[in-house]
A = this chain, B = another copy of it.
Amino acid sequence: MTACIDAAAWLTLEAIPGLGPDAAQRLLQAFDGPADILAARSAQLEPVVGSTLARAIVQGVDAAALQPGLDWLAQPDNHLVTWLDPAYPAALRDLAAPPAWLYVKGDPAWLSRPMLAIVGSRHATPQGLRDAEAFAKSLSEAGLTIVSGLALGIDAAAHAGGLAGLASSVAVVGTGLDRVYPARNKVLAHRLAAEGAIISEFPVGTPPKSGHFPRRNRIISGLSLGVLVIEAALESGSLITARLASEQGREVFALPGSIHSTLSKGCHRLIKQGAKLVESAADVLEELGRLLPTPLPAASLASAPIGAGDSLLEQLSGGPLILDQLASRLGLTVEDVSVKLLAAEMDGTVAKLPGGLYQRLF
């Protein structure tokens, strides 16, 4: 769950010019981890990523370039969670091009909880801000960790609401984690790092770049069971997040508003396209309840007593759990639990749900 063993190898891999999530994914599937990739010969790499990238990997990077990342990782509460790490969020593994690594400031365990994204306009109305905070708080109380993008407006209000509830909040940003953008959210960022998490797939030192926001948005939606949009104009980033959510098979929820408000037009378009119109937190829970046949019990998400039972099915009788929770309750490794779960899925006694949750069927 904590930092990686071979951080330098991961940081090297990440610093290879032109290596994106797609190529990283192919490499990780073909080799035994980053050190193995970096030790490979060009002839081994070429069939996987082509000659240009293979050359760049063999050439490597200047060790000095890795120092800022290594320094950052040396600080407390800073982590690199990689595709090979059991703490890597199961929900992201489903994506077409999942990030190969995530920088995490805070507790990576938050990333494996059932999450709901709440996004919306940076220029929200006072009512929109109140709604975002109230929905986030209620849904966090109900056990959904609130994901958003740490922008001003709806994002910030959603994080505040999530932090005020039981299941906290996770921010996904499009910059390096040493840079909090916008600066006005610095206090909020500190609270998120302490009580939830802030994550990024971009290396330390990455400044805000408009091209990074859609990549950031796919993680916001990818981590989540659904995306709730509260106040969004047409042509806004929130609609991109909603579209990505829809493509990723996540639920899309939107708050309606006056037909005379510019900030309702984005939500209304989503509803016309099939998003669920939401008037209350119950509307969201009702829909996600169909994905999680037993309601999300706040208690099961707070730390449950460990060792209260030892069978897999017994552990799941209180409601769906994620792999990590099962492993820690059973006192087994994640790999051992994975094997048990696969057997149970094949027996038809357990089903895998979106968000990396496992549910007992019988």
User: Footprint of B on A, CB under 8 Å?
Assistant: 127, 131, 255-260, 264-265, 268, 271-272, 276-280, 283
Q: Which of A256, A276, A278, A279 has the most CB of B within 10 A?
A: A256
Question: In the complex, what's the smallest C-beta–C-beta distance from A144 to chain B, in angstroms?
Answer: 19
Q: A256-B268, A268-B279 are in contact. List 19 more A-B contacts (CB 8 A).
A: A127-B258, A127-B260, A131-B259, A256-B256, A256-B259, A256-B264, A256-B271, A256-B277, A257-B258, A257-B259, A258-B258, A259-B279, A259-B280, A265-B279, A268-B277, A271-B271, A271-B277, A272-B277, A272-B283
Question: In the complex, what's the smallest C-beta–C-beta distance from A320 to chain B, in angstroms?
Answer: 26
Residue ID in chain B nearest A283 by CB atoms = B272
Complex interface: chain B residues within 8 A of A258 (CB): 127, 256-258
Residue ID in chain B nearest A260 by CB atoms = B127
When chains A and B are docked, how far (Å) is the Cα of A276 from the Cα of B259?
14
Question: In the complex, what's the smallest C-beta–C-beta distance from A253 to chain B, in angstroms?
Answer: 11
List, sorted by A's number, 28 A–B pairs whose CB atoms are closer than 8 Å: A127-B258, A127-B260, A131-B259, A255-B259, A256-B256, A256-B257, A256-B258, A256-B259, A256-B264, A256-B268, A256-B271, A256-B277, A257-B257, A257-B258, A257-B259, A258-B258, A259-B278, A259-B279, A259-B280, A265-B279, A268-B277, A268-B279, A271-B271, A271-B277, A272-B276, A272-B277, A272-B283, A277-B277
When chains A and B are docked, how far (Å) is the Cα of A259 from the Cα of B230?
11
Q: Which of A131, A268, A277, A278 has the most CB of B within 10 A?
A: A277
When chains A and B are docked, how far (Å) is the Cα of A259 from the Cα of B264?
12
When chains A and B are docked, how far (Å) is the Cα of A276 from the Cα of B277?
11
Residue ID in chain B nearest A278 by CB atoms = B259
Q: Which of A265, A268, A276 has the most CB of B within 10 A?
A: A268
Complex interface: chain B residues within 8 A of A271 (CB): 256, 271, 277
Complex interface: chain B residues within 8 A of A276 (CB): 272
Complex interface: chain B residues within 8 A of A127 (CB): 258, 260
